[in-house]
Amino acid sequence: MARHATSTSPAGAPTSATGIIPIDLLDAVVVEEVSDALWKRVFDVIGYPPTLNARNLSAKAVVDHIAKDGVSDDLVDVLRAIHELGTDDGVDAMKAVADTHNADLGAITARVPRDAAVELWLAQREKPALRDLFTRVQMQAESRRSPRSFREFRGKRAQKLAAWATIHPRLVTTVRAWCTAQHFGDHVDVRGYIENGNAQIQIIHGHRLQKPVVVKDGGHGRRTLELRPAHCDIVRYDWKGSWLRLSPKSTGGGIVETYRRLLGEVFFDDDEFFTEADYSLRPLQEHGQVILDGAPSIARARVTDLVWDRGGEIIRIRSSDCLASVARMGIPPTEGDFIEARIAVVLPGRREVRRSVHVKVPNKVDYPRDEIHAVAIDDFLAATGIRTIDTRRRNLDLWDLYPWQHGERVWRAAYPDDVDRLAQAQVLRPVELAAVAHPDRPRHGRVVRAEDGFGVSLDEDVPPRVLTSTDVSGLGLDGGALLASWRAALGLDGDTHDLGDGVHVLGERGFDSVQCTVVALLRQPTFDAANLGKRIRSAVMPGAVVALLAPPGRASDSGFPTVALDGLALEERAFWRRFLIAAAVGTRVPAIWRAPDARLVVDKGRMSVWLDGIPIDVASDSAAYRFIAALADAHGNPVTNETLDGLLSANREEGFARKVKLTAKKAIEASLAKAGHPVDGDSVLVTVRGQGYRLGVSSHVG
């Protein structure tokens, strides 16, 4: 049995035959804009529920019924028609479809938009011939942007709400105080319910005073009319997922942020209880159409509208397939960030259903919330990774950051150990940014445009602000200077070759008989792997060992091994060790280049020794070489005089080890001094009283 509706007492969730009524149909103001007479005609057709009858029927009674009682599928259809078609755009859609099909809807389209939508719905119920026309009007209207979208937030923990009798008065008082401070008037009407810890709430309040100029029919002049529009903001809270969904009538005046704090305080005495949900379009950038095709809950999906923040340059693409359009542009899709997308999805079933999903990072989402289709779309968003409960994000890398002009904070987050060195070397240079992120809304992207010292926001959710020279100061990376620094650090010779698309042959270096070539991928290549491999092979010497230098986790599929670019300032030995291991030629080169981080390296095959990367001038198989090698084999443990005497002297001459140690010490000191890095030989070859000798530095024997 349906429950009696009131605006202050808790009640169960309004439901249709298919489940909870869609959140986008709960706007009480929209319902009240339809005349009482029309609502009577609607219920004469669909039947009266127990709580309504022809005598007490009014728009306000319908609002109470929707907020509190069971709602039929027919009433859901009427509400959807009012919301989708009861606008100026909806009336225009009616006229356009009627003209195309030579239908006469003049009497209907002459009505005010809300009433016109109801009249058309009633007409198609009474005249089956109009049903196809009604469907076409709906399809025409659906292609337009929804007037109401949703912001989603997550709570700190899953927590049930207190009783409605506790929440309701606190919410009324708090909202009224905010409205008064905003000069929105003091009218506040809060309707809703809390059931099983979940909430659905309608908050009706005034907005800014308006004085439109109105005309009188009959040509009797104009006058101003003072009025205060009524706004209905919709709140839904799901305690199990700790999801807060807001659908405000207007986003002006910081109302979204206000509700985030206000509801946290009213619900849980914590104005920071709710934080932004995590929506990301990064999966589309990194995986493209594949991620959409792999979603199990839909038949097909295409991105039809895309906003791309590419290094502060905002690119907007409208197409039947935006991802295909990006591919045709020849720009790597991983550069920058997709910040907004409209995805056309086709849901499977006996009759395919088309829906539009609008996502704007970090937490704005808009799609039809009818129960059956909402579940499928929720599954789609989760399966693709567009909606995620994991707020962690991998660090940005060189490919993501192209065209390489960002604030210092962005560079330090990506390459914290390299920024100062690169700035000193003029690889990173000061630049003035044309667009910046708002400091309080960094995840909305660089949507604040710098215009004569003022930041003009391109996003309705991001406020404008005054910009100082510090706000717009940034660092730009000089790609040519970066490549030159890498050539110098790695000791490369030979010519460089720009193969296009951010692919550069840096040069060559020989290690004994092994000729190594380094190819740097500064950007994600857009040509296919086979073409990339062909270009590289044509630009390098035959027989050269080739490895690619690219950010970690970036595969080229070109057939060449890849060395991960962990930082932008390269260290010679560490790089070549990883190069030789990746190319599987480590055993063909001196041990110094394949050794891990160790100060002293012994190559037994070549009978050579290095300290801190500098070759030590000791003859192969000399006593000094064997002395150093014996200590290196002991890995820091002492080697006795007796053992060394037996190893170094054929007749085990006593005290011979002490003489050889002195020779080895002098060789180490002379070699390091010659290279400009003096060292105390006794700190390397340490005498251990009564035990012999040991190494005082880390070692590797290869």
The model's pTM: 0.67
| pLDDT of amino acid 604 | 92
Asked if 340 and 315 touch (Cβ cutoff 8 Å), the reply is: no
- Residue 276 phi/psi, 5° resolution? -60, 135
Structural tokens at position 282: 């990064």
Count the alpha carbons within 13 Å of 104 in the hemisphere toward its beta carbon.
1
Q: Note the pLDDT tens digit of each residue in 302-313.
A: 999 999 988 778
Q: Which residues of the chain have pLDDT under 70?
A: 1-24, 70, 139, 141-148, 219-220, 251-253, 368-372, 389-394, 650-652
Q: Are strands 465-466 and 473-477 parallel, antiparallel or unpaired?
A: unpaired
Question: Could you give the CA distance from residue 570 to residue 582 in angstroms, rounded to a whole number?
Answer: 16
642's tokens: 């007796």
Q: Are 34 and 41 in contact (CB under 8 A)?
A: no
- Gap between the Cα atoms of 199 and 667, Å rounded: 81
pLDDT at position 4 is: 31
Q: Would you state the structure tokens that stand for residue 238, as one six-digit string? A: 């799901």
d(CA 485, CA 575): 14
CB-based contact 565:551 (threshold 8 Å) = yes
Backbone angles phi, psi at 75, to 5 degrees: -65, -35
* Helix, strand, coil shares, percent, the chain, to 5: 35, 25, 40
Residue 47: Cβ within 10 Å count? 10
Report, in angstroms and rounded to the nearest whole number, the Rg of the chain calculated over CA atoms. 36
Amino acid at 463: P
If you write DSSP's letter for every residue of 563-589 in order, what string do you get? Answer: EE---SS--HHHHHHHHHHHTT-GGGS
Non-local (6+) Cβ contacts of 596 within 8 A are 577, 700
Query: What is the residue whose two structure tokens read 């986003």?
Result: 251
Instruction: State the Cα–Cα distance between residues 64 and 449, nearest whole angstrom.
Output: 45
With the CA atoms of 431, 432, 438 and 441 taken in that order, what torsion angle do they form, in degrees rounded to the nearest 10? -30
List domains and CATH numbers for the chain.
23-145 (no CATH), 150-276 (no CATH), 281-384 (no CATH), 405-476 (no CATH), 479-589 (no CATH), 592-701 (1.10.10.10)
The pLDDT of residue 634 is 93
The backbone region for 38, taken as left when phi is positive above 0, alpha when psi lies in -120 to 50, beta otherwise, is alpha
- Mean pLDDT in the chain? 86
C-alpha distance from residue 128 to each of 79, 131, 172, 473, 633 (Å): 20, 5, 46, 65, 94
